[in-house]
Amino acid sequence: MRSTAFKLLGLIVLLLVGRFTVAQQPLTIDITKGIQGSGIPIAIAPFGGGAPEDIAGIIAADLQRTGKIAPQPPGTRTDYSVTGQAQSGGARGYVVQFQLAGVQGAPLLNLSFDVPPNQLRPVAHRISDLIYEKLTGEKGLAGTRIAYIAGGGGSWYLVVADADGQNPRVILRSGQPLMSPAWSPDGGKLAYVSFEGRRPQIIVQDVYSGARRVVSAAPGINGAPSWSPNGQRLAFTLSKDGNPEIYALDLATQNPVRLTSSSAIDTEPVWLPDGSIVFTSDRGGSPQLYQIGPGGGAAQRLTFEGDYNARPTVSPDGRYIAMVHRRGGRFHIAVLDLQTRQFRVLTSGGLDESPSFAPNGKMIIYSNGQRLTAVSLDGSVKQDFTLRGNGRDPVWAPYGR
Amino acid sequence: MQHITRNLIAVAALALLAGCASTGDTTGQDQTGAQQDATTEQGITAQPGQDAYSYPYGQAPSQYDTYDTTGGTAGGQAGGGRPGQAVAGGGSAVSADRIVYFSFDSAEILPESQAIISKNARVLTGNTRIITQLEGHTDERGSREYNIALGERRANAVRQAMIAMGVSPQQIRVVSYGEERPATAGQSEQSYALNRRVEIVY
């Protein structure tokens, strides 16, 4: 008890001497690519009612970011328009109500939400996604989240932020490197690699409770965790038998099964929807992507362009594989269409790495040195996330909670 | 009110951790059971022997230090720079006679590295109670997990060379940090060359 009191005193002293570095970290997003004036024009009027958040502003920014909808000032002659109110009242604090009108005022959406004050931003994102889906037929991303690694040099952070970069939360802080976060399919957990204790371990953390479980701490590399489509298994890399090999672990039985057997590097496994696994291997002399069946077996080579293709990630529908591709000594994000076998280089950054698909399959987030960028699958829209600090290893959360 | 108190204590615990980190003690040995009990009660999960703290999403702080990889100092604008630490990547400041450098995309021991490896091998064969950790590193280019594998390949190359010089395998441990702990920041060829290395730590 005395010890606890002493520690609390220590906390207070530390607070008073100001050791705690406070740095607000708003991520903002700039559209860096996207044809000017393209997209469906939509007039968005300020929401009346005096809510503490600029609901119309959030909706406009969300829709602008999609590159497919072009918000206009109120009064602009457009086919589509949004009007709404956010007033205090209702059972939970605020009633947010909006209308989306089409040609000649025809009502397309007319909904209201009863929310507490701290849910005004999320409800604005929800409205953006409803409008986006109505106008494009695609599911929106405004209500989704991203996770990424920040820091380095002495303190590492696992951060979860909203898809517009706002509301960053440090769900893990460590004095040793963190890397390779991976969302569980339900969006409730993150698997990652942590070097705490000065050795790599694979840890699964419940995002909402903060509870953690060490999944693998074998001698050698414990790396590149990836969830199976049903969330019941994790694939990862272990080098305990001498060189890096792919393993799959049933999370219920905790029994890792080895899936590859080569004297080369085998790493970075990801699952296709059918349970087969794509991974990086330099068994052919340079790193390339290969595919094996759910239980291992003979590997099929998937990539043949250039001498470096690594870190695969699979689109939610299983059709596309994005990867890190080297060309002329520079690293870019490239995409392989598994249906047509067409291979396209999407980015031109030079240090581009760690691609991750958005849950609607339309965007890919990646890191570019120590910054985050998202690019559309067709390459037509590109967004830079402007972090005041750094960010890398981004992963887009699935739809879900 | 209870929520506010919990959050304040979470922030205070974070401050304590920041304090620990800035003393350079990241091994976690000063994290006594009493402290862990205190923090766990407040929703921060710490586990024995670890230097990481997790937070429930709803109570997670939104602040973190910035870190500049382009300029050369850790901490950057948030003022989190750590005295006595000249390198940007938090490398363990191993002296030059315990660092083996490598060519781009290669784990081959260069002729000029033989002297450094054999000097350290002699120390290890001379005192078989010494355990060394070989820490493999890469430059920042390319995929992070593939770089972990390349860093391990480099560390294993040094391990094999030491074993060939008579060092017992029991005296050698290998860990790869890939590109996660650069010796120096910057994106020049010179910086990259300094980061492609194995540090012989004992």
Contacts of B138 (CB under 8 A, 6+ apart): B147, B150, B151, B154, B178, B179, B195, B196
Q: Which of B39, B139, B148 to mutate to test the interface with A (most CBs of A within 10 A)?
A: B148
Residue A161: predicted pLDDT: 94
Residue A202: predicted pLDDT: 98
Q: Does residue A34 have a pLDDT over 80?
A: no
pLDDT band with cut points at 50, 70 and 90 for residue B63? confident
Residues B144, A353: C-beta atoms closer than 8 Å: yes
pLDDT tens per residue, range A356-386: 999 999 999 999 988 899 999 988 888 887 6
Question: What single DSSP character describes residue B110?
Answer: P
Bridge partners of residue A113, in order along the sequence? A96
B65 closest CB neighbour out of A151, A224, A280? A151
- Which residue in B148, B165, B161 sits closest to B113, CA to CA? B161
Residue A388: predicted pLDDT: 60
Q: Does residue B85 have a pLDDT over 80?
A: no
Contacts of B28 (CB under 8 A, 6+ apart): A175, A196, A197, B49, B50, B51
Q: Does residue A215 have a pLDDT over 80?
A: yes
pLDDT tens per residue, range A150-180: 999 889 999 999 998 888 999 999 999 999 9
For every residue of A260-281, DSSP letters joined together read ---SS-EEEEEE-TTS-EEEEE
- The average confidence (pLDDT) of chain B is 74
Considering only CB atoms, which chain A residues are within 8 Å of B74? Answer: 152-154
Q: 3-state class of B145 per DSSP?
A: helix
Residue B18: predicted pLDDT: 39
**Contact (CB, 8 A) for A15 and B44:** no
Alpha-carbon span A323 to A314, nearest angstrom? 9
Residue B169 has, within 13 A of its CA and on its CB side, a CA count of 3
**Contact (CB, 8 A) for A193 and A180:** yes
Q: Which of A155, A278, A309 to mutate to test the interface with B (most CBs of B within 10 A)?
A: A155
Take residue B65 and report the two structure tokens written for it: 């230090």
Contacts of A136 (CB under 8 A, 6+ apart): A40, A66, A68, A69
- Helices B2-22 and B33-41 cross at an angle (nearest 10°) of 150
A221 closest CB neighbour out of B74, B82, B152? B152
Residues B51, A194: C-beta atoms closer than 8 Å: no
- The average confidence (pLDDT) of chain A is 90
- A14-18, A85-89, B80-84: which has the highest mean pLDDT? A85-89
Complex ipTM value:
0.89
Residue B15: predicted pLDDT: 40
Residues B53, A172: C-beta atoms closer than 8 Å: yes
Name which residue leads in pLDDT, A188 or B80.
A188
Residues A311, B74: C-beta atoms closer than 8 Å: no
Inter-chain contacts counted by CB atoms under 8 A, chains A and B:
259
Residues A310, B77: C-beta atoms closer than 8 Å: no
Give mean pLDDT, residues A245-262.
95
pLDDT band with cut points at 50, 70 and 90 for residue A142? very high
Considering only CB atoms, which chain A residues are within 8 Å of B85? Answer: 153-154
Provide the sign of the torsion angle of the four alpha carbons A65, A67, A73, A78, taken in this order. negative
Q: A214 to chain B: nearest residue by CA?
A: B47
Residue A103: predicted pLDDT: 85
pLDDT tens per residue, range B128-162: 999 999 999 999 999 999 999 999 999 999 999 99
Alpha-carbon span B146 to A180, nearest angstrom? 11
Residue B82: predicted pLDDT: 33
Distance from CA of B162 to the nearest CA of A (A): 17
Residues A239, B149: C-beta atoms closer than 8 Å: yes
Alpha-carbon span A255 to A236, nearest angstrom? 13
Give mean pLDDT, residues A87-113.
94
| Total residue length of chain B | 202
Q: 3-state class of A42 per DSSP?
A: strand
Q: Please give the C-alpha separations between residue A375 and each of A129, A225, A321, B101, in angstroms, as whole numbers.
A: 19, 24, 14, 36
Burial state string for A228-238 with b = 16 or more CB within 10 A and e = fewer than 16: beebebbbbbb
Distance from CA of B60 to the nearest CA of A (A): 5
Tokens 């304040």 map to which residue? Answer: B8
Q: Please give the C-alpha separations between residue B184 and each of A23, A152, A155, B28, B195, in angstroms, as whole numbers.
A: 24, 12, 16, 25, 7
Q: What is the pTM of this model?
A: 0.84
Distance from CA of B3 to the nearest CA of A (A): 14
Give mean pLDDT, residues B179-188.
93
Bridge partners of residue A331, in order along the sequence? A326, A351
Distance from CA of A276 to the nearest CA of B (A): 20
Angle among Cα B110, B112, B113 to the nearest 5 degrees reads 70
Q: Which of B139, B144, B179 to mutate to test the interface with A (most CBs of A within 10 A)?
A: B144
Bridge partners of residue A146, in order along the sequence? A161, A396
Q: B104 to chain A: nearest residue by CA?
A: A329
